[in-house]
Structure 1
Amino acid sequence: MDEVYLDKILAGDSDAYRYFINTYKDMALNIAVSIVKDDQYAEEVAQDAFVKAFSGIKSFNRESKFSTWFYRIVVNESFQRLRKLKKEVPTTDINEVSFKKTSANESDEDRERIEKALKALPANESLALNLFYLEENSLKEVMNITGWTLANTKVILHRARKNLRSKMEKTK
């Protein structure tokens, strides 16, 4: 489906870009949040990434999936935003969060615990988990999006799973 809309955009139909915004906005925001750790900055990063992708769409050579190319732009924009901030991104102290378990809200609370734990992880670990597990990208796609080597990708994923497990155990 991406190919059809790419062809429309390249033919001059700028309204066709809405398809990409609607399709990729949620994951772009997830990736940005996993890196910058702030919802407002993440929204700005995602918006900047969409603008950059639209203006550079002619350079997309279709050797990879559009999503891989676009998510790489999101990753680059996110890390660029971190450099601009020139300060350590505040993280949520996972130990200060209290959770009340009820059967009706258990899945929502579990999801909230996971999101808070992901925000507490280093940017590269949170990014790796988001790309591999939430977006269900292959290791090769994660490598292409992030620019990491295969070995580095595997190590980061391993550390991320270990750190996430540790943070989740602390919130029980």
Structure 2
Amino acid sequence: MRILYTLILGLWATAGWSAPNTAVFPSIDGGTIDLQAFAGQPVLVVNTASQCAFTRQYADLQALYDRYRDRGLVVIAVPSDDFNQELGTAAEVKDFCEINYDLDLPMTDLTHVRGSKAHAFFQDVKAQTGFVPRWNFNKVLIGPEGDILGTWGSAARPDSGAIPRAVEAALE
């Protein structure tokens, strides 16, 4: 199952194509987060919410990012109000995450992750794997070659168990 980097590493590199829409998210800091910039690296994409029982996983995501970032891991938080548990604005989300979790990993602007308004990345993941976020803090690990290496639900802690093992394998 290849998404994103198949086009990025193949057609994009040889034909000068730009990354597909699925590879670009609006950034919480303005501008965009273009997954093309992370070609060749594993990327963990996580839909998040600031008022959820799983919100404490922000600390786990930051710890995972801190542990592996020098080896190439990218962790991207995708704040979403699809489950009615996110703060009202991107600025509030950013402040909340910086103040409470000292978060410095890349974050998107508020983004839909399911349904007809889902961001194209999540639509592609659904089309290729059937995986759809059923709640906040669902995780999708994209390998260095663009393969979907794993998907996990809310209860899977980012800093222990299967996720770090999959990250380690992707970094080898």
TM-score (norm 1): 0.29
From the two aligned structures, give the one with the greater strand fraction: 2
From the two aligned structures, give the one with the greater helix fraction: 1
TM-score (norm 2): 0.29
Larger Rg: 1
Greater RCO, 1 or 2 (C-alpha within 8 Å, sep 6+) = 2
